[in-house]
């Protein structure tokens, strides 16, 4: 998903947002998306194709499914490269943007693949940066709010250095992304690569795998199955949830800019996990009980982005509220029930931003 006249998160038109000197950024003819078969990645590929870009999707399917690309594989301009970016990244032909999303992102995945997570965050990111350097392409790293750890600042601004346990259970993901940010900055400073960093906060929507392990797909699956909704701790910990189309438009607004970042991308609507579980139970009409389970180690107590920079720099802000986003997601989960692995999201046109 890119930027365009019809959009969901307020990024620029297909010609791109002007650079600091006022010159327009051409619409990207060809974009490489690493981790393009993942949840956010498949939405990103879909939106780019809608807007006329050719897309090279790179994925090794270690935490994603080929079924998630079913709607894309026959699309004109779409190319799939099955490859682990940790082993290298070679793409023939011209490339305008490299959007680097490859990395296990949910706790069950990165806890199952700790070394692989660290490796893709380090050498995998360097291979993606090397490709951008060779192609003279704009590089955007999809980093995460997890770099803030269990924050002592609330809401979190980009200037906050974070409170991360480097040897804790979440450290393989947190530190992989922190290294990714550091090496991206190093390539910009020492090699002149045109780089940008976005820090993505909790994102949800159609296309999430049922076994993702994050709160919204877990609660939806449990509610639809009539099982207890498992809330960690006392449920007072908070997250800010952002619908996937908004996140995607923010990534592309950053790609069309020349700012190095980091820039927070997320919705400032903050909700406790207990409130979220109760909302999903009500939305589904489920009679499931709430079951409290032990809180995972180093689980952040609060999480809410300060999105001032994204709004002022990129002209971006979320457009899809939680009620609408959760209803769309529930509808999709219901459609997928009993059909095995979920297929990727169909393109959804969003209201025109005014």
Question: Tell me: the pLDDT tens digits for 237-288?
Answer: 999 999 999 999 999 999 999 999 999 999 998 999 999 999 999 999 999 9
Interval 167-183 mean pLDDT: 95
Q: What pLDDT score does 98 carry?
A: 98
Report all structural domains of the chain as residue ranges with CATH numbers, in order of start.
Answer: 30-203+242-267+305-321 (3.40.50.720)
Would you give the DSSP letter of residue 257? S
Residues marked as catalytic: 173
Would you give the DSSP letter of residue 147? G
Condensed to tens digits (0 to 9), the pLDDT of residues 23-35 reads 444 579 999 999 9
Condensed to tens digits (0 to 9), the pLDDT of residues 121-153 reads 999 999 999 999 999 999 999 999 999 998 999
Interval 296-306 mean pLDDT: 85
Q: What pLDDT score does 143 carry?
A: 97
Q: How many Cβ atoms from other residues are within 10 Å of residue 112's Cβ?
A: 14
Q: Are 11 and 314 in contact (CB under 8 A)?
A: yes
Q: What pLDDT score does 352 carry?
A: 29
Whether a cis peptide bond, with omega within 30° of 0, leads into 262 is yes
Q: What pLDDT score does 198 carry?
A: 98
Q: How confident is the model at residue 69 (pLDDT cuts 50, 70, 90)?
A: confident
73 or 91, greater pLDDT? 91
Could you tell me the end-to-end alpha-carbon distance of the chain, in angstroms, rounded to an integer?
19
Q: What pLDDT score does 169 carry?
A: 87
């Amino acid at each position: 998903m890119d930027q365009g006249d019809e959009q969901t998160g307020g990024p620029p038109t297909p010609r791109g947002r002007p650079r600091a000197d006022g010159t327009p950024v051409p619409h990207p003819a060809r974009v490489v998306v690493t981790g393009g078969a993942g949840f956010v990645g498949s939405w990103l590929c879909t939106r780019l194709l809608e807007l006329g870009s050719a897309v090279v999707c790179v994925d090794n399917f270690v935490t994603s499914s080929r079924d998630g690309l079913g709607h894309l594989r026959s699309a004109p301009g779409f190319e799939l490269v099955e490859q682990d970016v940790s082993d290298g990244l070679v793409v023939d032909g011209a490339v305008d943007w490299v959007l680097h999303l490859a990395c296990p992102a949910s706790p069950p995945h990165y806890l199952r693949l700790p070394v692989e997570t660290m490796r893709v965050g380090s050498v995998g990111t360097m291979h993606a940066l090397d490709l951008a350097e060779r192609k003279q392409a704009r590089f955007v790293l999809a980093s995460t709010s997890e770099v803030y750890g269990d924050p002592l600042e609330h809401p979190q601004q980009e200037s906050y250095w974070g409170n991360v346990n480097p040897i804790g259970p979440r450290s393989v993901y947190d530190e992989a992304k922190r290294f990714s940010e550091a090496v991206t900055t190093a390539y910009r400073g020492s090699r002149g690569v045109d780089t940008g960093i976005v820090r993505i906060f909790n994102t949800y929507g159609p296309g999430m795998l049922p076994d993702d392990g994050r709160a919204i797909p877990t609660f939806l699956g449990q509610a639809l199955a009539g099982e207890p909704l498992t809330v960690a701790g006392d449920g007072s910990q908070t997250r800010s949830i952002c619908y996937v189309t908004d996140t995607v438009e923010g990534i592309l607004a950053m790609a069309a800019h020349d700012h190095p970042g980091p820039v927070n991308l997320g919705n400032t609507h903050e909700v406790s996990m207990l409130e979220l579980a109760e909302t999903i139970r009500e939305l589904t009409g489920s009679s499931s009980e709430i079951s409290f389970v032990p809180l995972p180690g180093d689980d952040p107590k609060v999480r809410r982005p300060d999105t001032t920079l994204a709004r002022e720099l990129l002209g971006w802000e979320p457009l899809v509220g939680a009620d609408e986003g959760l209803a769309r997601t529930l509808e999709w989960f219901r459609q997928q029930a009993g059909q095995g692995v979920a297929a990727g999201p169909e393109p959804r046109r969003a209201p025109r931003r005014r």
